[in-house]
Structure 1
Amino acid sequence: MQTQSTATTPLEDNVQVTNNAGYAVLKTLRNYGIDTIFGIPGTHNLEFYRHLAPLGIHPVTTRHEQGAGYGADGWAQQKGLPGVVITTSGPGLLNALSAAGTAYCESRPLIILSPGVPEGEEFADIGSLHETKDSTAAAGAIVQWSRRVHSATEAVAAVHDAFEIFRYGRPRPVHIEVPLNILESLSDCPEDLLQARPRRQGAQADATSLATAVQLLKAAQNPVILAGGGSIPAGAALAALAEALQAPVVTTLNGKGAVPESHPLALGSDIRLPAAQQLCNRADVLLVIGSKVGESELWGGNITPSGPVIRVDILASQANKNLASDLALIGDSAAIVTQLLHEIGSPERPVVNLAPVREELRNQARALSPELSRIAEEAAAVLPSNTIVGGDSSQITYLGTASFIPQEFPHSFLYTPAYATLGYGLPASIGAKIAAPERPVVCIVGDGALMFAVQELITAVEQRLDLVVVCVDNGGYAEIRSNEADRGIPAVGVDLVQPNWAALATAFGGTGHAITRAADFAPTLHAALQGRGLHVLHVPVSLFNAAS
């Protein structure tokens, strides 16, 4: 497939052009701070790969391009830079598009680089290697934009344009296709254009809207902050604003850790639970920062505050998305939160006691799944506070770890709540560990989800990572089994045959642990965290059903 090496290319045999378009693109990326890429080398993308080692860029070869995209996402969340994926043409690019769809849905920065057919051979239908009807359009249907460039200078300009979006707009994936004859030819791009562009200050709110927001917030007796993924750039200023207002902070799952979850005003990422929604609805001012308040986060609930809604977002188009705003502050969340904090100052306010709400949230979360809650709580008891937790569209994630493993730092809970894909957790955890080797990383996913990306266990071994994977086994696709039962459909296609997970881990070069008693789970997890290399724990949910 993409490793095939018998096709001809525009270059004559043994001709090497080191200052080609591939070099220009990668040099530009390196100047922006990119030191790692994810992908699979193939016949047509080798003039990207040629330049990695000389530029000091580490290649991570996943075993599927979807894993490359999710690995790049996990890496990007730790680095504060876009993930970069290099695919080959045709199947390589198309294999990465599920990851691109995830990045688009969850507003994550991602650059996909791919070669394309030489200029003049578009839509030729001549049976060339990896021939695809229109790969640029295929990607363009998924990503923010997809460009087929016609020179090295155009390719470099596309990289700069991508960073413009990532820095000052809503971060979403882009695709840059470089025709083979351009990729392999001498670059026409001057060296000075390869330099990273300096970062500008983020856009502030206009003075009139800001003044109105400050007036509303100062007068509020019961303000609440709902923080989404777009609030994370505000950093410590968000917690400071909450303190100034004595406003409880509820986050979405993408916003988890925007305020440290040990903070007295933090209520975690449980906006999907009734107690959190009721808190928002009692607010006499609800300040929504960087969230589209999507249905996937609300689980059928409603946000209908009794008072005005102030929304902070980078895009005006989001101001009334799903929840109408009475006032919109459009601009960079870091800049606007800082503006609000400066204008509000440090007023005297009574300290809010959130202990009853916090307890109600935990009780509601436990009621959803007592056994998965217990697994997550036992894991939380042994995980260091700086642990990065990888999740998936698994019940253990949205019924367990999301509620019961608190996070002190943003981007420490790797998940895709809206796109809700399977196969994300393991490669995203690998990418995060590569980016942050000093932090513990634990991937806790269901058996169905892990099978979507099981081949990436060897990537973790190959990269010599210390990584713990917890496979919470409910016998297949338990959520869909429940959905079928709700519709009166007998279980079909959801009860899955399981491998010997511990033996599988050993076969991949890791250490497998078969948990046979509920009491053994936490001690084994603790020991695995102290160990080296890959550790896979197989944890049947049935053990905790019996123990409940």
Structure 2
Amino acid sequence: MQADKTLTGGQALVRLLANYGVDTVFGIPGVHTLELYRGLPGSGIRHVLTRHEQGAGFMADGYARVTGKPGVCFVITGPGVTNAATAIGQAHADSIPLLVISSVNHTASLGKGWGCLHETQDQRAMTAPITAFSALALSAEDLPQLIARAFAVFDGERPRPVHISVPLDVLAAPVARDWSAEVRRRPGRGLPGGEALQQAAGKLMGARRPMIIAGGGALEAGPQLQALAERLAAPLFTSVAGKGLLAPQHPLHAGATLCVEPGWQLIGQADVVLAVGTELADTDFWRERLPISGELIRVDIDARKFNDFYPCAVALQGDARQSLAALLQRLPEQAREAAAAVDAAAVDSVASLKAAIEGGQAPLQRIHQAILARIAAVLPDDAFISTDMTQLAYSGNYLFASRAPRSWLHPTGYGTLGYGLPAGIGAKLGAPQRPGLVLVGDGGFLYTAQELATAVEELDSPLVVLLWNNDALGQIRDDMLGLDIEPVGVMPRNPDFAALAGAFGCAVRQPQSLDALEHDLRAGFAHPGVTLIELKHACAL
């Protein structure tokens, strides 16, 4: 190890990240990131070699969703940044803390158009619209301030990606002083004002049919949400990102069902809706607007959400867990018998909702129901599921009941294909003790199939990839047919997926029935490595 006085900017930056608690980075070394890689040996940070920068971004995203910590990736100037941009956009849409460190050309060449390797005219401008901020470090002394600012976003604001570009000369030059241990104060998110909390409590106490919608911003507030739902006798809906916040067997668990007609009907009956840590976005609800006719109370860290598409009667800006705890202090305990802890009408409405969804599915969704039931039968209690943009996952968003938060990872807002596999790998690396399942269609799988190489190389505990192969871009084909458009470009010729996975070193299974699927899933969760299960659409009929 070099003496501190001879640290380069790249070495000092890696040490600084380690002091902020970063233990894993995803990336592909290149000629423009060599000085970052000089700092990795001895840092305590694990480097995970991905096979594409988009995969690095998605793996960091999956790592962040499961651990709650920022995911970090190193990418090269120019094409590394543009390759990672899709993953950055996905993390931005879903409020995921992602730190992207990239190189950029030498300071003297920036914006000059000299034709340098990997040159872009303004690299920062490419990522600025899809990050909380995108910054250029013009000197090594800029780096501790920029990293502190990034972690302030992750810890104190709505968590979104940050991109920091570091010129090659800044990475390579010795630092004037060692700032690698300068971890600055990390802010919290705070509490709403007492007057707003009291106003919200008053509206909730006076409500006849209160209901709750919780999103990804409420993932640390599960106990408070349950206590609030029980005290108010309020059905609790979640967004897709909030799946698992209430145990599926709880009588007030309405699930992520606001994307289907029975859910819309029920939320329309609420006279007061408490929305916690959710955008109330149409990508969660599959319609332009929820039929919320009652008063809306919103708890959110992002003040811009209070008067957007759903203006609220009371705005509570602050941390979800702390805000709900403060709200509970202002709501009187209800004198209820232990056997009647929740209001019968609310319980009945949730039971009716579940029955309507269970019995009201179209033929394709009934196939999905059958597959998801087999998954639920064998899925280990602590497992997570990472999903791609595929019809099986769309059904699972509302039909599959997650048992805990951070257990259903889905690219909701940006909706990018190719997310499921690399995000599942990143989640496994963040929580190696948790079995993982990837749900992916044949179209999305081919976007990032090369990351099987990373999975086989890095994983020694169960990751099962369930490939739903209908030999089509099924959703787009169905959309074309629904609009009376002759299908074009939606029936591709697929490779031999079993041979492909075998070539990477995966265990491979191809069940021909639902019983065989259940058996193969069980075997996959017992296998200390990666298993690909190819399920043909016809086999599920």
- Is the TM value for this pair above 0.5? yes
Contact 1:152–1:189 (8 Å) recurs in 2? no
Which position in structure 2 is the counterpart of 1:435?
A: 430
Superimposed CA distance per residue, residues 336-377 of structure 1 (whole angstroms, 9 cap, x where no aligned partner) = 111111211421364332322222233345666211221112
Deviation at residue 178 of structure 1 after TM alignment: 0.7
Which position in structure 1 is the counterpart of 2:218?
A: 231
Q: When the two structures are aligned, how many residues end up with a matched partner? A: 530
Deviation at residue 234 of structure 1 after TM alignment: 1.9
Matched residues in 2 for 1:260 and 1:188: separation? 54
Counterparts of residues 133-172 of structure 1 (less than 5 Å): 133-172=121-160
- Structure 1 vs Structure 2: percent identity of aligned residues? 37
Deviation at residue 268 of structure 1 after TM alignment: 1.4
1:236 to 1:196, Cα distance in 2 relative to 1, 3 A: farther
**Does 1:188 find its partner at 2:176?**
yes
Q: Secondary structure at the match of 1:538?
A: strand
Q: Secondary structure at the match of 1:120?
A: helix
Counterparts of residues 247-266 of structure 1 (less than 5 Å): 247-266=234-253
Contact 1:292–1:322 (8 Å) recurs in 2? no
**Does 1:530 find its partner at 2:529?**
no
Amino acid at match of 1:206: G
**Does 1:178 find its partner at 2:178?**
no
Matched residues in 1 for 2:187 and 2:160: separation? 19
Deviation at residue 495 of structure 1 after TM alignment: 0.5
1:329 to 1:275, Cα distance in 2 relative to 1, 3 A: same
Contact 1:36–1:57 (8 Å) recurs in 2? yes
Q: Secondary structure at the match of 2:465?
A: strand
Which position in structure 2 is the counterpart of 1:286?
A: 273
Contact 2:5–2:178 (8 Å) recurs in 1? no
Contact 1:386–1:407 (8 Å) recurs in 2? no
Matched residues in 2 for 1:301 and 1:175: separation? 32
1:455 to 1:201, Cα distance in 2 relative to 1, 3 A: closer
Contact 1:107–1:171 (8 Å) recurs in 2? yes
**Does 1:64 find its partner at 2:64?**
no
Deviation at residue 322 of structure 1 after TM alignment: 2.0
Deviation at residue 142 of structure 1 after TM alignment: 2.5
Which position in structure 1 is the counterpart of 2:95?
A: 107
Q: Which moved more, 1:432-441 or 1:493-502?
A: 493-502
Which position in structure 2 is the counterpart of 1:6?
A: none
Q: Secondary structure at the match of 2:148?
A: helix
Deviation at residue 264 of structure 1 after TM alignment: 2.5
1:129 to 1:18, Cα distance in 2 relative to 1, 3 A: farther
TM-score, normalised with respect to structure 2: 0.94
Matched residues in 2 for 1:487 and 1:42: separation? 46
Deviation at residue 144 of structure 1 after TM alignment: 2.0
Deviation at residue 96 of structure 1 after TM alignment: 0.3
Matched residues in 1 for 2:204 and 2:140: separation? 51
Which of 462, 474, 477 is residue 470 of structure 2 equivalent to? 474
Matched residues in 2 for 1:346 and 1:366: separation? 43
Superimposed CA distance per residue, residues 37-72 of structure 1 (whole angstroms, 9 cap, x where no aligned partner) = 001000010111111221110001110000000000
Contact 1:502–1:511 (8 Å) recurs in 2? no
Counterparts of residues 449-464 of structure 1 (less than 5 Å): 449-464=444-459
**Does 1:121 find its partner at 2:109?**
yes
Deviation at residue 304 of structure 1 after TM alignment: 3.0
Amino acid at match of 1:187: V
Q: Which moved more, 1:117-126 or 1:36-45?
A: 117-126
Amino acid at match of 1:233: E
Matched residues in 2 for 1:223 and 1:367: separation? 34
Which position in structure 1 is the counterpart of 2:385?
A: 389
Deviation at residue 123 of structure 1 after TM alignment: 2.3
Counterparts of residues 131-530 of structure 1 (less than 5 Å): 131-191=119-179, 194-300=181-287, 302-348=289-335, 350-351=342-343, 352-353=346-347, 354-365=350-361, 369-399=365-395, 401-465=396-460, 466-530=462-526
TM-score, normalised with respect to structure 1: 0.93
Matched residues in 1 for 2:449 and 2:6: separation? 37
Which position in structure 1 is the counterpart of 2:537?
A: 541
Superimposed CA distance per residue, residues 16-40 of structure 1 (whole angstroms, 9 cap, x where no aligned partner) = 9961211222222211211000010
Deviation at residue 190 of structure 1 after TM alignment: 4.3
Amino acid at match of 1:458: A
Amino acid at match of 1:72: A
Amino acid at match of 1:342: Q
Contact 1:262–1:406 (8 Å) recurs in 2? no
Amino acid at match of 1:492: V
Matched residues in 2 for 1:462 and 1:337: separation? 43
Superimposed CA distance per residue, residues 440-478 of structure 1 (whole angstroms, 9 cap, x where no aligned partner) = 101011111111110001110010343110000111201
**Does 1:21 find its partner at 2:9?**
yes
Amino acid at match of 2:101: L
Q: Which moved more, 1:355-364 or 1:110-119?
A: 355-364
Contact 2:437–2:464 (8 Å) recurs in 1? yes
Deviation at residue 221 of structure 1 after TM alignment: 2.3
Q: Secondary structure at the match of 1:141?
A: helix
Deviation at residue 529 of structure 1 after TM alignment: 0.9
Q: Secondary structure at the match of 2:251?
A: coil
1:462 to 1:258, Cα distance in 2 relative to 1, 3 A: same
Contact 1:17–1:185 (8 Å) recurs in 2? no
For structure 2, the 5+ residue unaligned runs are 337-341
1:301 to 1:132, Cα distance in 2 relative to 1, 3 A: closer
Contact 1:501–1:512 (8 Å) recurs in 2? no
Superimposed CA distance per residue, residues 131-167 of structure 1 (whole angstroms, 9 cap, x where no aligned partner) = 2222121122322211111122211211110111111
Superimposed CA distance per residue, residues 182-224 of structure 1 (whole angstroms, 9 cap, x where no aligned partner) = 1111123543x73333444432111111111111111222110
Q: Which moved more, 1:450-459 or 1:143-152?
A: 143-152
1:199 to 1:261, Cα distance in 2 relative to 1, 3 A: farther
Superimposed CA distance per residue, residues 248-274 of structure 1 (whole angstroms, 9 cap, x where no aligned partner) = 110010111222333332121121112
Amino acid at match of 1:243: E
Q: Which moved more, 1:20-29 or 1:462-471?
A: 20-29
1:486 to 1:306, Cα distance in 2 relative to 1, 3 A: closer
Matched residues in 1 for 2:133 and 2:280: separation? 24
Deviation at residue 393 of structure 1 after TM alignment: 0.9
Q: Which moved more, 1:299-308 or 1:115-124?
A: 299-308
Contact 2:453–2:504 (8 Å) recurs in 1? yes
Q: Secondary structure at the match of 2:7?
A: coil
Amino acid at match of 1:109: P
Contact 1:156–1:194 (8 Å) recurs in 2? no
Matched residues in 2 for 1:489 and 1:202: separation? 49
Q: Secondary structure at the match of 1:171?
A: coil
Matched residues in 2 for 1:53 and 1:247: separation? 53
Q: Which moved more, 1:303-312 or 1:111-120?
A: 303-312
Q: Secondary structure at the match of 2:515?
A: helix
Matched residues in 2 for 1:65 and 1:467: separation? 21
